């Protein structure tokens, strides 16, 4: 008791205790202030770069909120969290899974330079994100300064224009492994046939390829008379005629990719000058008219976009004008009953809901046979195996317009001098896989399109423009290879 009394009643002890308490309080206030400022900066930087804050804190790779993701994606947080076994191919594309969850996509930091339009030689650097400033590129990243970035530089392997001899052997180690993994997967039961997939495959000329495509690929859409849809009460919502019977013919058409290299292109007026314009998925025009135009005649969408809450398919005005054409990956056999019972995403449920809201808007669903006929043409004309997954929306849309138009101009499917790792012109997100392909056999699609191009290499380099003839204008009576 005496000791306690003395401790609390000695003036020097009281002063020392109060000083220590005040010092601790000041330290606590400073720490809290620093923490609040740090979190505010983190939130601001992450919001600017579309990176969830938890991902930035724990080291999970950046992802776009616009894309749903598979229920079986590996998430290994830096620090030793237990991994969950899943599909290792976390890449852009239509990946089966839960449409309510976003797909983590391997991304590089915001380091790319982007060229402005041709009237200006100034370049604008995108601001570096949090992940670049504090830690740089992470292990396992597909694109970045040390791996696939060499494709996009002024002296990159892509050169001035796309080389139709591109193959997986030219890819970086990580990208090559991903492509090989997809080549080995066979979710859709692909059965290989034809001359392709081996070295020494005969290389057809551009006219021969065009005639082969015309002869072997038929644009088809679902109609109410097809089983099992003819037995369903909502079959009357399907258009009674084929898309090719209802639309066209158009004289001049534009297929506008969503590529990041369209930014600062200044191609908007040229694109709008075409009689018909096809766009893809959730690619907007508002705010980007100078570069991509404003006209939309047809919008080709995948079932992933239809199912994602983030895309607001049922409520957004983005989809409510023009003609809608939807597709979903299906078995290689194109068996409609098997497909109906096991779609990658609920395309038919969303289709019915949308039709009830917009009963007068033309809305078609591609027959899966169309997807795999194109895939077969790609594989038949490549000297190595391609991914056993459906072609990209870009390739599907290009062939679709070739069946409707006299001439088709495809913008930035083959990258121009503005080539960049920026995936989409309307998002600040980078990944070399968006150009080189991962899930889709995109690299091989570009090879095919480059060989069929009837425009000049200068058109590709300057404007990212490929010129293809419509099937109606092709004279294949004396073209060798047209019946292959």
3-state secondary structure of 8: helix
Left, alpha or beta for 464 (phi > 0: left; psi -120 to 50: alpha)? Answer: left
pLDDT of residue 438 exceeding 60? yes
What's the pLDDT band for 152 if we cut at 50, 70, 90? low
Q: Which segments of 190-335 does DSSP mark as H helices, in order?
A: 206-216, 243-246, 268-272, 289-292, 303-307
Strand order in the sheet with 363-365: 363-365, 323-327, 298-302, 276-280, 250-256, 405-411, 465-469
Q: Are residues 291 and 374 in the same domain?
A: yes
Q: Is 196 a domain residue?
A: yes
Please name the helix (run of DSSP H) or strand (run of DSSP E) that holds residue 276, with its range, or none.
Answer: strand 276-280
Does residue 342 contact residue 299 with C-beta atoms inside 8 Å? no
* Residue of higher predicted confidence among 441 and 4: 441
* Residue among 434, 423, 393, 445 at smallest CA distance from 175: 434
Co-location of 88 and 188 in the same domain: no
pLDDT at 52 over 50: no
Element (H, E) at 470: none
Same domain, 466 and 436: yes
In the Cβ-directed half-sphere of 306, how many Cα atoms lie within 13 Å?
25
Domain enclosing residue 23, as ranges: 2-41
Domain-located, residue 153: no
User: What is the structure's pLDDT at 21?
Assistant: 81
Under 8 Å CB-to-CB from 232, ≥6 apart: which residues?
none
CA nearest to 464, candidates 184, 122, 181, 161: 161
- For residue 201, give the CATH number of its domain: 3.90.1480.20
Task: Lowest mean pLDDT of 69-73, 150-154, 299-303, 449-453, name the range.
Answer: 69-73
- Could you tell me if 285 and 379 lie in one domain? yes
What is the mean pLDDT of the segment spanning 80-86?
A: 33
Determine, yes or no, domain membership for 481: no
pLDDT band at 177 (very low <50, low <70, confident <90, very high): confident
Residue-by-residue DSSP string for 334-379: --HHHHHHS-SS-HHHHHHHHHHH-TTS-EEEB-HHHHHHHHHHHH
DSSP-derived 3-state class of residue 408? strand
User: Is 70 exceeded by the pLDDT of residue 289?
Assistant: yes
Specify whether 268 is located in the same domain as 241: yes
- What is the pLDDT, as a whole number, of residue 409? 98
Are 129 and 109 contacting, i.e. CB atoms less than 8 angstroms apart? yes
**CB neighbours (10 Å) of residue 413?**
26
The answer to whether residue 117 sits within a structural domain is: no
Q: Are 33 and 61 in the same domain? A: no
Residue 198 DSSP code: S
Q: Is the pLDDT of residue 98 over 80?
A: no
Better-scored residue on pLDDT, 83 or 192: 192
The answer to whether residue 300 sits within a structural domain is yes
Q: Could you give phi then psi for residue 98, rounded to 5 degrees?
A: -85, 115
pLDDT the model gives residue 180: 84
pLDDT at 445 (0 to 100): 97
Position with higher pLDDT, 71 vs 467? 467
> Do both 21 and 83 map to the same domain?
no
Of 416, 430, 423, give the one whose Cα is nearest residue 111.
430
444 found inside a domain: yes
Same domain? For 23 and 89 the reply is: no
Residues 98, 244 within the same domain: no
pLDDT at 378 exceeding the cut of 70: yes
Question: Is the Cβ–Cβ distance between 351 and 237 less than 8 Å?
Answer: yes
Residue 9 lies in a domain: yes
Strand partners, 114: 124
Q: What is the pLDDT of residues 439-454, one digit of tens each?
A: 999 999 999 999 999 9
- What are 193-215's pLDDT values in tens digits? 888 888 888 889 999 999 999 99
Same domain, 242 and 328: yes
- What's the rounded mean pLDDT across residues 433-442? 90
- In this prediction the pTM is 0.72
Say which residue, 18 or 95, is predicted with more confidence: 18
Quick one: average pLDDT of 333-343? Answer: 95
Token pair listed for 71: 């229920």
Looking at the fold, whether 466 and 390 belong to one and the same domain comes out as yes
Mean pLDDT of 269-290: 97
Tens digits of residue pLDDT in 218-248: 999 999 999 999 999 999 999 999 999 999 9
Domain identity same for 350 and 386? yes
In the chain, the number of structural domains is: 3
Confirm whether 317 is domain-assigned: yes
More confident residue, 349 or 130: 349
Of residues 100 and 178, more confidently modeled: 178
d(CA 202, CA 409): 27
**Pairing of β 363-365 and β 405-411:** unpaired
Which H/E stretch holds residue 436?
helix 433-436
């Amino acid at each position: 008791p005496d000791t306690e009394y003395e401790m609390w009643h000695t003036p020097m002890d009281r002063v020392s205790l109060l000083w220590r308490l005040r010092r601790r309080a000041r330290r606590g206030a400073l720490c809290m202030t620093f923490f609040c400022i740090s979190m505010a900066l983190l939130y601001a930087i992450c919001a600017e770069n579309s990176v969830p804050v938890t991902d930035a804190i724990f080291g999970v790779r950046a992802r776009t909120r616009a894309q749903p993701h598979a229920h079986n994606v590996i998430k290994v947080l830096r620090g030793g969290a237990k991994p969950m076994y899943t599909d290792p191919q976390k890449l852009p594309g239509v990946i089966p899974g839960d449409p309510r969850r976003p797909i983590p996509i391997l991304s590089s930091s915001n380091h790319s330079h982007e060229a402005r339009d041709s009237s200006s030689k100034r370049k604008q650097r995108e601001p570096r994100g949090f992940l670049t400033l504090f830690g740089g590129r992470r292990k396992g990243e597909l694109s970045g300064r040390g791996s696939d970035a060499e494709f996009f530089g002024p002296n990159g392997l892509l050169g001035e224009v796309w080389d139709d001899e591109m193959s997986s052997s030219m890819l970086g180690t990580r990208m090559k492994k991903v492509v090989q993994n997809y080549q080995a997967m066979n979710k859709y039961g692909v059965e290989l046939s034809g001359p392709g997939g081996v070295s020494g495959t005969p290389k057809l000329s551009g006219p021969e390829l065009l005639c082969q495509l015309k002869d072997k690929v038929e644009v088809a859409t679902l109609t109410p008379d097809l089983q099992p849809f003819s037995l369903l009460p909502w079959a009357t919502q399907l258009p009674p005629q084929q898309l090719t019977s209802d639309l066209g013919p158009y004289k001049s058409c534009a297929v506008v990719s969503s590529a990041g290299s369209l930014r600062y292109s200044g191609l908007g007026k040229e694109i709008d000058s075409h009689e018909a314009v096809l766009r893809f998925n959730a690619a907007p025009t508002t705010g980007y008219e100078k570069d991509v135009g404003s006209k939309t005649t047809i919008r080709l969408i995948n079932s992933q976009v239809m199912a994602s809450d983030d895309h607001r398919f049922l409520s957004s005005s983005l989809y409510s004008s023009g003609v809608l054409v939807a597709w979903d990956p299906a078995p290689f056999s194109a068996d409609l009953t098997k497909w109906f019972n096991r779609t990658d995403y609920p395309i038919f449920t969303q289709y019915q809901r949308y039709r009830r809201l917009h009963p007068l808007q033309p809305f078609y669903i591609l027959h899966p046979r169309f997807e795999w006929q194109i895939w077969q043409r790609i594989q038949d004309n490549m000297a190595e195996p391609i991914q056993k997954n459906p072609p990209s929306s870009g390739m599907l849309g290009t062939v679709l317009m070739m069946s409707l138009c006299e001439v088709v101009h495809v913008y930035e499917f083959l990258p121009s001098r503005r080539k960049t790792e920026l995936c989409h012109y309307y998002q600040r997100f980078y990944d070399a896989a968006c150009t080189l392909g991962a899930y889709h056999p995109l690299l091989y699609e570009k090879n095919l399109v480059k060989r069929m191009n009837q425009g000049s290499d200068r058109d590709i380099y300057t404007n990212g423009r490929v010129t293809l003839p419509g099937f109606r204008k092709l004279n294949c009576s004396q073209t060798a290879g047209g019946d292959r």
